[in-house]
Amino acid sequence: PFPSYGLFAQLPWRAQILQGLLGADLIGFQRAEDARNFSRAVRSLLGVVSRRNVIVARDESASGAHEVEFGDYPISIDADEFEQLGRDPAVRRRARQIRSELGDPAHVILGIDRLDYTKGIRHRLKAYGELLGRRGGSVWLTPRS
Does residue 145 or residue 7 have the better pLDDT? 7
Q: Is the pLDDT of residue 104 over 80?
A: yes
Domain containing 87 equals 79-135
pLDDT at residue 120 tops 70: yes
The larger pLDDT score, comparing residue 140 to residue 76, is at: 76
Residue 126 lies in a domain: yes
Query: How far is 55 from 101, CA to CA, in rounded Å?
Result: 56
Q: Note the pLDDT of residue 53.
A: 92
- Spatial CA neighbour of 22 closest among 55, 49, 47: 55
86 shares its domain with 35: no
pLDDT digits (tens, 9 = 90+) for 87-97: 999 999 999 99
* Mean pLDDT (the chain, rounded): 84
pLDDT digit string (tens) for 12-63? 999 999 999 998 999 999 899 999 999 999 999 998 888 889 998 877 665 6
The tally of domains found in the chain comes to: 2
Could you tell me if 45 and 68 lie in one domain? yes
- The reported pLDDT for the residue numbered 78 is 78
- The string of DSSP letters for 72-105 reads E------HHHHHHHHH-HHHHHHHHHHHHHTT--
Asked whether residue 101 is domain-assigned, the answer is yes
Spatial strand order in the sheet of 50-51: 26-29, 65-72, 54-58, 50-51
**Does 55 share its domain with 93?**
no
Say if 142 falls within a structural domain. Answer: no
Judge whether 120 lies within some domain. Answer: yes
